[in-house]
Amino acid sequence: MTAMAAMAAMAVRFVDVSRHFGEVRAVDGVSLEIADGEFFAMLGPSGSGKTTCLRMLAGFERPTAGRVELHGRDVTDLPPYERDVNTVFQDYALFPHLSVADNVAYGLTIKKVAKPEIRRRVAEALDLVCLPDYGARKPAQLSGGQRQRVALARALINRPRVLLLDEPLGALDLKLRQQMQTELKAIQRQVGITFLFVTHDQEEALAMSDRLAVFNQGRVEQVGTPAEVYERPRTVFVAGFVGTTNLLLGDLAQRLTGTPGPAAIRPERIRLLAPEASAGPGEASATGSIREAVYLGMHTRYTVELDEGGELAVVAQNLDADAADAACAQGRRVRLAWEPSAIRALVG
Amino acid sequence: MLRRAANFLFRHPRWALGLLLGPPLLWLGVVYLGSLAALLVQSFFHVDEFTGQVVRSFSFATYAQLFTPANLDIFRRTTLMAATVTIAAALLSFPLAYYMARYARGRVRSLLYLGVILPLWSSYIVRVYSWKLILAKEGILSWFFSAAGLGRVLDAVLAIPGIGGPSLSFSTLGRFLVFLYIWLPYMILPIQAALERVPKSLLEASADLGAPPGKTFRKVTLPLALPGVIAGSIFTFSLTLGDFIIPGTIGDSSLFIGQAVLRHQGTAGNVPLAAAMTVVPMLIMAAYLAWARRLGAFDAL
């Protein structure tokens, strides 16, 4: 793809966008580009500016500075009803006085689409979210998961070029959330439009997105594919927020990396060996004793106190260990081994 | 002792429920519904024309008396006023209630609340009499109109047959203004409460789905506020139907239902007719609520 074509294909562009509420810089100089058809996640803790960014794209907030573009068109000053995006709200925002079918039909009714076509497309949209026979019900008669699907159908029926999702799975329980993750992904592939997804759940962001942006204090810390962000975190914040990590600072960093850091190594990249065993060729290693072992079913999480000072968290799969092993692991002498390349240098 | 009682109630939740609901249900059932039933029964008695005594036997004679032209006039006049006051109150209240629910924050909000509720703290009779002074020929409103060089406008309005009169305090227009003033808080508060319960995200969702503000108002805000409007209108409508102080103090000598009831049961001693007349506003309210229900006013509840 040439540079020009890449520019033209950008579904969403934030150009140096800021949003200040009085003294508070909710969004502070964010620049982002999201390609057409991408499943893009904005990940960050609450108050990091991700939802404000989404709201500026939808038109509910106006940037204090900067420019928001949709498919190359500057929409910074357009009201929400003039924008070709639709939103799935965190609280679903279904109209309580309208039936499910009327909720889904809302956008088409506003556009004065012919009645028979509305009926056909409502049926289609409810089929898409697997609620074909729910048209006559009121939102109050639905479960949380069903409301979420109706909200999705109500947005998708308008065939927006970009769909915005504000923590849409936040209110669902774990099982339902995992099921909806898969379904959302399938629906996105089916309709082929850009999905822009806000979440504070790093697992969700990793599982669903083609690319993600990690937000912190109104700024974007890193943009990349889930693998890039997880395996090559750029900053201390990203390394800590996406997955768990051993943050190496000061003495510990000096000893393990030869530089004062900061650096990070994932707990699952460290191997737990018997103290007398030797590390593999090219591997670095250190000895210590287990201070704490937490049995987590599929794996056990150890905190190891190194003989030379400092602690490292290690996660080991429970291939032939069980809860009883974890229970008596405390105080056991171990050797830790890792590939030096597993340690990533970070930006403060 | 108290602990033992609490333990007993913990083990016997039915007793707890009975203690909780007993007194209010007794009050509602015996005093409230009982008096209504007594009223209904009385309305089927009639007064013997010769002796002036109440005849305690079932008949429709009293109800037949309701259909004299003079009485029908009273019903029509009262209902028309109640409807006009209700509509005006709703139109006047909505913007204020909307502002209070959607925009006003902190101090402004508290002050607005206080402003709406404050009049309710003072005696209703005092307020009606102060309006008598405001509306009098020598009152502040007439003075204002003439000072502003609009004395002719006021005269022209007062010359309109049906709503005018010798002065505002002796006109139907004056009655309307006082009714509107006195009942306005009862309309503002329920509408405000209804609007407050509409989450902002619903308005955003409507805009997001392509509706400009006007459409969002018609398709989302108004339907969701309608139960509040209906609640307020029940107050303004029924209070106007039953009131006898305002029409007795402000306006011409034409009677309202409340005044007629007062006369029949007091001066004239015709309790059956007074009772039958009280049934009329109840029927009007029932018809009104049935109509509101058919309009879908309670769908959002």
The string of pLDDT tens digits covering residues B149-200 is: 887 888 888 888 878 777 888 888 888 999 999 899 999 999 999 999 899 9
Least confident of A136-140, B45-49, B190-194, B221-225: B45-49
The DSSP H or E segment spanning B291 is helix B271-294
Residues in B touching A79 (Cβ below 8 Å): 207, 212
Alpha-carbon span A310 to B47, nearest angstrom: 103
Residue from the list A80, A85, A110 with its beta carbon closest to the beta carbon of B204: A80
pLDDT in tens, A168-212: 887 778 888 888 888 888 889 888 899 999 999 888 899 889 999
Q: pLDDT band for position B91 (50/70/90)?
A: very high
pLDDT at A30 over 60: yes
Please give the average per-residue pLDDT across A107-126, as a whole number.
93
**H/E segment holding residue B275:** helix B271-294
**A2: pLDDT confidence band, cut at 50, 70 and 90?**
very low
Among A39-43, A91-95, B166-170, B266-270, the range scoring the smallest mean pLDDT is B266-270
* Residue A341 burial (CB count, 10 A): 8
**Number of C-beta neighbours around residue B241 at 10 A:** 23
Least confident of A79-83, A320-324, B6-10: A320-324
Tell me the mean pLDDT in the region B26-39. Answer: 86
The pLDDT score that the predictor gives to residue A1 is: 42
Name the residue in chain B with its Cα closest to that of A82. B210
Choose from A48-62, A312-326, B49-63 the range with maximum mean pLDDT.
A48-62
Write out pLDDT tens, residues A230-287.
988 999 999 888 888 888 888 888 888 777 878 889 999 998 888 888 878 888 888 8
What ipTM describes this predicted complex?
A: 0.84
Q: What is the pLDDT of residues A288-302, one digit of tens each?
A: 989 988 888 888 899
Distance of alpha carbon A19 from alpha carbon A200, whole angstroms:
20
- pLDDT score for B165: 78
> Which of A21, A62, A82, A97 to mutate to test binding with chain B, by most B CBs within 10 Å of its CB?
A97
B191-210 average pLDDT score:
92
User: pLDDT band at residue B296, thresholds of 50, 70 and 90?
Assistant: low
The greatest distance separating any two alpha carbons of chain B, rounded to the nearest whole angstrom, comes to: 78
Instruction: Tell me which residue has tokens 């009104």.
Output: B288
Q: What is the pLDDT of residue A346?
A: 87
Percent of chain A with pLDDT over 70: 97
**Residue B300 — very low, low, confident or very high, per pLDDT cuts 50/70/90?**
low
Quick one: B274 exposed, middle or buried, by C-beta within 10 A (0-12, 13-18, 19+)?
Answer: buried
What residues in B contact A91, CB-CB < 8 Å? 199, 201
DSSP code at position A196: E
A69-98: average pLDDT: 92
Identity (one letter) of the amino acid at A147? Answer: R
Distance from CA of B214 to the nearest CA of A (A): 11
Peptide bond into A281 cis (omega under 30): no
Distance from CA of B59 to the nearest CA of A (A): 46
Residues A5-14: b if buried by 16+ CB within 10 A, e if exposed? eeeeebbbbb
How far apart are the CA of A225 and the nearest CA of chain B, in angstroms? 29
Average pLDDT over residues B96-103: 90
Please check whether residue B281 is in contact with residue B81, taking contact to mean a CB–CB distance below 8 angstroms: no
Q: DSSP assignment of B112-148, as one string?
A: HHHHHHHHHHS-HHHHHHHHHHHHSTTSHHHHHHHHT
Query: Mean pLDDT over residues B75-90, rounded?
Result: 92
Say what the alpha-carbon torsion angle B246, B249, B250, B252 is, to the nearest 10 degrees: 120
- Residue B256: what pLDDT? 87
Tokens standing for residue B109:
């909000």
Question: A152-174: b or e for each residue (b if 16 or more CB lie within 10 Å)?
Answer: bbbbbbbebbbbbbbbbbeebee
B222 pLDDT exceeds 60? yes
| A2 contacts: CB under 8 Å, gap ≥ 6 | none
pLDDT at residue A3 above 80? no
Residue A54's contacts (CB-CB under 8 Å, 6 or more residues apart) are A42, A87, A164, A166, A196, A198
B257-265 vs B69-102: helix axis angle to the nearest 10? 130
- Distance from the B222 Cα atom to the nearest Cα atom in chain A, whole angstroms: 11
Q: B132's torsion region: left (phi>0), alpha (psi -120 to 50) or beta?
A: alpha
Residues B300, A96: C-beta atoms closer than 8 Å: yes
One-letter amino acid of A196:
L
